[in-house]
Chains A and B, each alone.
Chain A
Amino acid sequence: GAVVSQHPSRVICKSGTSVKIECRSLDFQATTMFWYRQFPKKSLMLMATSNEGSKATYEQGVEKDKFLINHASLTLSTLTVTSAHPEDSSFYICSARDGTTGGEKLFFGSGTQLSVL
């Protein structure tokens, strides 16, 4: 089946620094990717929809300037957490749909645990 690769799996950074998370579709092209945030024992909250070659669509309450999304190719989307603060510490997960064969199935990356000190 389709595979979505997400890196890094874990990152620890100092407050005020920026962190980039990569999400790649390994064996299919993804014109759209989704970025979620998940707190322990909680639901996946959609942050934004990443569209290849155009601007991302952000959900209400998500700061565009803080969570920068770039989807420059059909297999790569990046999420940059700018000027990270401790409250940004969370589990970030990306997902994509294989429009050719996957139907309604979303394929998820393995997630990135971000800890901001």
Chain B
Amino acid sequence: GQSLEQPSEVTAVEGAIVQINCTYQTSGFYGLSWYQQHDGGAPTFLSYNALDGLEETGRFSSFLSRSDSYGYLLLQELQMKDSASYFCAVKGSARQLTFGSGTQLTVLP
């Protein structure tokens, strides 16, 4: 089976940097993805890491360490619109995505 752990809630202020961690246990591993979901909306893709290291896309970066079964999403220069749920998701041996339980990020003014 597969399981993922991420914090349920994170709060930060505008302009700050926040890191959302994700640890996983999987049978087979192809990659780690991150998705953002605003209340009542559709999840949107943020990043995908198949190899170790840091991937940067604008204000968002994602990191993966396969040996530690660990990754994180780093959000810089936080804005109010970044308030949302963030899900890590693992692509395992079944080639399907298994999602974590999500981290609710609240950005305060």
CA distance A67 to B102 in the complex (A): 25
Contact of B101 with A42 in the complex, beta carbons under 8 Å = yes
Residues of A within 8 A of B42 (CB): 4, 93, 108-111
For this complex, 22 residue pairs linking A to B, each with C-beta atoms less than 8 Å apart, are A34-B96, A41-B85, A41-B102, A43-B87, A43-B100, A43-B101, A43-B102, A44-B99, A46-B97, A104-B31, A104-B48, A104-B50, A105-B45, A106-B43, A106-B45, A106-B97, A108-B42, A108-B44, A109-B42, A111-B40, A111-B41, A113-B40
Residues of B within 8 A of A4 (CB): 42
Known: A34-B96, A108-B42, A111-B41. A41 touches B104 (CB 8 A): yes
For B33, B43, B50, the residue with the greatest tally of chain A CB atoms inside 10 Å of its CB is: B43
Instruction: Pick the residue among A41, A45, A108 that contacts B43 (CB under 8 A).
Output: A108
A: residues with CB less than 8 A from B are 4, 34, 41-46, 49, 93, 95, 103-111, 113
Segment 56-108 of B: residues with Cβ below 8 Å from A? 85, 87, 91, 96-102, 104
Residues of B within 8 A of A46 (CB): 96-99
Contact of A104 with B101 in the complex, beta carbons under 8 Å = no
Residues of A within 8 A of B98 (CB): 46
Q: Chain B interface: which size bin?
A: 20 to 34
Residues of B within 8 A of A103 (CB): 48
CA distance A47 to B57 in the complex (A): 31
Contact of B87 with A44 in the complex, beta carbons under 8 Å = yes
Contact of B45 with A42 in the complex, beta carbons under 8 Å = no
Known: A34-B96, A109-B42, A110-B42. A104 touches B33 (CB 8 A): yes
Contact of A44 with B104 in the complex, beta carbons under 8 Å = no
Nearest CB of B to A76, in Å: 18
Nearest CB of B to A93, in Å: 7
Extra contacts, 10 of them, besides A46-B98, A104-B48, A106-B43 (Cβ < 8 A), are A4-B42, A34-B97, A41-B104, A42-B102, A43-B99, A44-B43, A44-B87, A46-B96, A103-B48, A106-B45
